[in-house]
Amino acid sequence: MKPRDRLRSVGRRLTDPAEEMAQQVAERVIEFLVDALDINALAARVDMNAVLGHIDADDLLKKVDLNSVIDRVDVNALLRRVDLNPLLKKVDLNSVVDRVDVNTLADRVDLNPLLERVDVNAVLDRLDLNAVLERADADEVIRRVDIGAVLDRVDVNDLVKRVDVDALVEETDLGAVIARSSGGMASEALDAARSQAVGLDQFIDRWVQRLLRRRRPGPPAPARMLAARAEP
Amino acid sequence: MSPRSRPAGLVSQQGHYAGSVSRFLAYLIDLAVSSAVFALGLAAVSLGIQVVTGHSVTWSRSNIVVAFAYPAWEFLYFGYSWAASGKTFGMAVLGVRVVRADGADLESRRGYLRALVFPLSFLFFGLGFLGILVQREHRALHDLIAGSAVIYAWDARAARLRYLAREAESSAGGGT
């Protein structure tokens, strides 16, 4: 071994424990210092404004990766911890609504998928229609109805076909009106004479058909009459 | 057939070929009316002659004027009635009407043609009228020649309503 190497070996044996000791001493000193230090008092003496004035906030924000910060935030947990009620109490909803353009909002909303998801029967089951009707001003509703437009959409012919005129005449005073206004004895005699004649016509015709042994009777009426009757 | 169901059945008969009884009764009425009017006409003519000439005139079937005038009057009575409205007075009473064979309104010329050939049906003991009974469309000989048919044309629906109204009124009167 060379004399220089030997010296180095001796030096190393001396410096390593010394360094270790110095480290321990330094740690102890810092520990004592921190214990002795009144952080609050120190902070009180620090002029934070001056400190903040030295900080370049823009530069700081540029260095911060906000996305990664946001990724780490558990928004649901955050929202769970937020008490929205006091927040909402402070909000003036009327002024918010006043600023909303409802027409634009409505234009953007596609009501069809919304309505498809609505169970109308369930809604109607929960609806107390009697209560609704009690609150409705029927006269006002009727005033707003365009009766002309409604009638335009009504098929009056179809409506009349559905009316049981016989029952109407029999069960209402309409019968008496017709009876008084339709000629009395003369029309009654005429109706009776015609009815009897038609009855005899049919009676004789049936017998003639039997005598002639016709299996298929002739047409009951001229072609145009049958066609007119067949038309709706 | 109950009295109630009869008018209901008649409504469905509207526009159908008229039968023999209705047509025969209508003809009897027409015959009576036209003959009465003709007789009144002759009476008026007699009165006129008597006033003008001072002679009384009596008419008989064998009189040449009557022999020509009566058929002419009958032709005019039936022909004009059928040509104008398709029905004579008797037909109107019985509620029947003459139409074209296909059901359309009868043209004037067919009306007069029908009146012209109408006497043919009386030949051979009224053989031409047999068609009303046996022909499928109840058409007599003069109908076949003129291309016409006779249908029920009275307002059976209104008659039914009148019938129901009378029933309703009588039942209401009986109840009180």
pLDDT of B5: 43
Q: Per the CB < 8 Å rule, is B104 touching A224? A: yes
Task: With respect to residue B62, please indicate whether it lies within any of the assigned structural domains.
Answer: yes
Q: How is residue B106 annotated by DSSP?
A: P
Mutation to test the A interface, candidates B100, B136, B162, B167, most A Cβ within 10 Å = B162
Task: With respect to residue B8, please indicate whether it lies within any of the assigned structural domains.
Answer: no
Q: pLDDT for B70-81, tens place per residue?
A: 999 999 999 999
DSSP line for A87-138:
HHHHS-HHHHHHHS-HHHHHHH--HHHHHHH--HHHHHHH--HHHHHHHS-H
Among the residue ranges B10-14, B94-98, B104-108, the one predicted with the least confidence is B10-14
Low-confidence ranges of chain A (pLDDT < 70): 1, 169-184, 231-232
Task: Enter the tokens of residue B122.
Answer: 């009386």
Report the alpha-carbon distance of residue B171 to residue B166 in Å, rounded: 8
- Alpha-carbon distances of A97 from A93, B48, B144, rounded to whole Å: 6, 105, 88
Q: Per the CB < 8 Å rule, is A221 touching B154? A: no
pLDDT of A204: 93
pLDDT of B6: 54
Q: What residues make up the domain containing B156?
A: 13-175
Whole-number average pLDDT of chain B = 86
Interface of A with B in 83-102 (CB under 8 A): none
> Is the pLDDT confidence value at B11 over 50?
yes
**Is B30 or A115 the better-scoring residue by pLDDT?**
B30
Q: How many domains does chain B have?
A: 1
Which value does ipTM take for this structure? 0.82
Q: For the residues B74-93, what does the mean pLDDT come to? A: 95
pLDDT of A49: 81
Q: For the residues B72-100, what does the mean pLDDT come to? A: 94
Chain B neighbors of A220, CB-CB under 8 A: 16-17
**Is B158 or A140 the better-scoring residue by pLDDT?**
A140
pLDDT of B175: 47
Helix (H, G, I), strand (E, B) or coil at A164: coil
Look up the pTM and report it: 0.55
pLDDT of A150: 81
Task: With respect to residue B6, please indicate whether it lies within any of the assigned structural domains.
Answer: no
pLDDT of B176: 44
Percent of chain B with pLDDT over 70: 88
Report the alpha-carbon distance of residue A168 to residue A162 in Å, rounded: 12
Task: With respect to residue B5, please indicate whether it lies within any of the assigned structural domains.
Answer: no
Bridge partners (DSSP) of residue B148 are B100
Task: With respect to residue B1, please indicate whether it lies within any of the assigned structural domains.
Answer: no
**Given CB atoms, is A168 within the 8 Å cutoff of chain B?**
no
Q: Which amino acid is at B47?
A: L
Report the alpha-carbon distance of residue B13 to residue B19 in Å, rounded: 11
> Is the pLDDT confidence value at B166 over 80?
no
10 Å Cβ neighbour count for B137? Answer: 18
Percent of chain B with pLDDT over 90: 60
Among the residue ranges A148-157, B28-37, B95-104, B129-138, the one predicted with the least confidence is A148-157
Q: Which of B34, B159, B42 is nearest to A191 (CA)?
A: B159
Task: With respect to residue B79, please indicate whether it lies within any of the assigned structural domains.
Answer: yes
> Is the pLDDT confidence value at B168 over 80?
no
**Which residue in B6, B138, B158 is closest to A195 by CB distance?**
B6
> Is the pLDDT confidence value at B1 over 90?
no
* Rg of chain A on CA atoms, in Å: 53
Q: Per the CB < 8 Å rule, is B164 touching A169? A: yes
pLDDT of B2: 42
pLDDT of B89: 95
CB A218 within 8 A of CB B136: yes
Among the residue ranges A88-97, B16-25, B166-175, the one predicted with the least confidence is B166-175
Q: For the residues B115-122, what does the mean pLDDT come to? A: 94
Q: How is residue A17 annotated by DSSP?
A: H
Min distance B81 CA to chain A CA atoms (Å)? 20
Helix (H, G, I), strand (E, B) or coil at A197: helix
Mutation to test the A interface, candidates B17, B24, B93, most A Cβ within 10 Å = B17
Q: Which of B7, B80, B13 is nearest to A191 (CA)?
A: B7
pLDDT of A178: 64
Helix (H, G, I), strand (E, B) or coil at A211: helix
**Which residue in A170, A178, A193 is closest to B162 by CB distance?**
A178
